[in-house]
């Protein structure tokens, strides 16, 4: 078996959540890496849509931003950004929204705006972009990020994108049409929302990861499903495809795309 890093485990586990033929609205960074790995392995017919307008993008290297020419050049078509949101996203035509985050809470709410006080923040983050609309209107949402006390917090400094709000039926009460987040994939585990409460609980631990490690790297009292699985380790063909993609990206841009 090939050795692999925790980042590779996270990317592979996230890529597996995308079904072949699904229509996926992709965020830049880790989501783009996982989505393109899916396209290069088990889901060759996945339709990748980016905020800037490309539909059916098939980049050979990972894009630096939504404005990267690689996306438009390899897409089936490019449409105005307004059409992406109004017709595709708000029209209910996006199967999966794939998002990253700076912080997430137990109900899958995301912060990508500020750390600390909004008016005098310790850190000003990249901001919302299209994430609030993706989180609200995509049929399902996947979230990918590294797990730590800084990223998995008891209370967000700012709610940029709503998951399940305050839990329970709050999302439905807000009138958001999409199902909401169905999975959070990290470098330690996979979390899914608990029926009824919609609180995220651990459903799968990555190979070699202990419950104690997850607890130590979560800012709330994380709970575990009744039956916790072990995530399948990355297969050789998945690692080969991922590393080749990162190598091409590094050659083109001087970076592997989405690790941080």
Q: Catalytic residues, which ones? A: 51
Determine how β-strand 47-49 pairs with β-strand 23-26: parallel
Number of H helices, E strands in the chain: 8, 14
State the sign of the Cα–Cα–Cα–Cα dihedral 31, 34, 38, 44.
positive
Q: Three-state DSSP class for 133?
A: helix
Residues 183 and 201: their CA atoms lie apart, in Å, by: 10
Positions of E strands within the chain: 23-26, 47-49, 54-55, 77-78, 96-99, 103-104, 110-111, 114-116, 121-124, 140-144, 181-185, 189-193, 200-205, 224-230
CA-angle at 227, arms to 196 and 147, nearest 5°: 80
- 3-class SS shares of the chain: helix, strand, coil, % to 5: 25, 20, 50
- Residue 173 CB-half CA count within 13 A: 7
């Amino acid at each position: 078996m090939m050795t692999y890093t925790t980042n590779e485990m996270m990317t592979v586990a996230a890529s597996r959540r995308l079904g072949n033929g699904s229509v996926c609205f992709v965020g830049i960074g880790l989501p783009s890496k996982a989505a393109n790995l899916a396209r290069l392995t088990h889901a060759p017919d996945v339709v990748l849509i980016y905020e800037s307008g490309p539909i059916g993008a098939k980049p050979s290297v990972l894009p630096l931003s939504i404005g990267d020419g690689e996306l438009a050049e390899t897409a089936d078509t490019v449409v105005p950004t307004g059409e992406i949101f109004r017709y595709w996203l708000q029209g209910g035509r996006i199967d999966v929204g794939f998002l990253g985050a700076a912080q997430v809470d137990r109900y899958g709410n995301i912060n990508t705006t500020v750390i600390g006080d909004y008016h005098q923040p310790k850190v000003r983050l990249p901001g919302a972009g299209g994430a609030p609309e993706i989180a609200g209107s995509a049929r399902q949402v996947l979230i990918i990020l590294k797990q730590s006390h800084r990223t998995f917090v008891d209370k967000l400094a700012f709610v940029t994108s709503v998951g399940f709000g305050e839990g329970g039926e709050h999302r439905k009460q807000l009138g958001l049409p999409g199902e909401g987040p169905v999975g959070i994939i990290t470098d330690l585990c996979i979390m899914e929302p608990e029926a009824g409460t919609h609180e995220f609980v651990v459903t799968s631990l990555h190979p070699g990861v202990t419950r104690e490690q997850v607890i130590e790297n979560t800012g709330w009292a994380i709970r575990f499903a009744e039956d916790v699985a072990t995530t399948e380790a990355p297969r050789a063909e998945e690692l080969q495809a991922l590393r080749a993609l990162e190598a091409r990206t590094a050659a083109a841009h001087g970076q592997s795309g989405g690790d941080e």
